[in-house]
Amino acid sequence: MGSVAGGEEVKKTPNPPSPGYGGQVASKVSSFIPHPSSFLGIFWRFLAILIGGLFIYAGAVKALDPVRFAGDIENYHIFPWPVGVRLAFYLPWLEILCGLALIVRRLYSGALVLVLALMLVFIGASISAKARGLDISCGCFGHVSDQLSFAWHLVLDFLLLAGLLCLSFAERKDFAVDKSKSS
């Protein structure tokens, strides 16, 4: 078990695991291969940039033709025409600003909440319109999305919503970790 030195038994303890990646010594870890936790961070960052870019594009398409977007809002038969026109001039810029906030991570939490709320309202309005027998074009991406069926629109909307929910949970987890470090 151990050797006797000066009449005392010295116990050998196993070497503690090194603090490096994969049991390697930290100085031998390649900087080219990031730690697995940073892979997740890179994924969340990529997802935020992708969703932010989608909202910037969608907002820009609508901002360039607000009259068409007002007509798309009118097709849902939820708001009167004057309210739809006001929304057509306001919502695209909100989408652009929220998309920018997701990309540059300024006012990130607020932008995430607003975009989540916009998606939930839009999905609810789409399902409501379909249930009332209205054949609508969402107007989200201009003429690009006109050829998609309602089912495909819903699939894409729910994928986008899932991505936003994942970003929200990841952001809350990061906030909780940061808050515990500062305590």
pLDDT in tens, 164-179: 999 998 877 765 444 4
Highest mean pLDDT out of 12-16, 43-47, 100-104, 174-178? 100-104
Structure tokens at 173: 């987890």
pLDDT in tens, 99-112: 999 999 999 999 99
Across the range 63-80, mean pLDDT stands at 91
Q: Is residue 81 part of a domain?
A: yes
Q: Is the pTM of this model over 0.75?
A: no
Answer yes or no: are the C-beta atoms of 96 and 75 closer than 8 Å.
no
Q: Is residue 11 part of a domain?
A: no
Q: What length is written for the chain?
A: 183
Nearest to 141 by CA among 50, 56, 77: 56
Q: Is residue 4 part of a domain?
A: no
The mean predicted confidence, pLDDT, of the chain is 80
Domain with 136 in it: 37-174
Sign of the alpha-carbon dihedral angle for 122, 125, 130, 133: negative
Q: Is residue 57 part of a domain?
A: yes
Structure tokens at 164: 């936003």
Q: How confident is the model at residue 98 (pLDDT cuts 50, 70, 90)?
A: very high
Q: Is residue 163 part of a domain?
A: yes
68: Cβ–Cβ under 8 A, 6 or more apart, which residues? 139, 142
The CA-atom distances, in angstroms, between 98 and each of 70, 103, 157, 165 are: 20, 9, 17, 15
Q: Is residue 82 part of a domain?
A: yes
> At CA 31, angle to CA 28 and CA 36, rounded to 5?
100
Q: Is residue 151 part of a domain?
A: yes
Q: What are phi and psi of 17, to 5 degrees?
A: -65, 145
How many folded domains does the chain comprise?
Answer: 1
Q: Is residue 14 part of a domain?
A: no
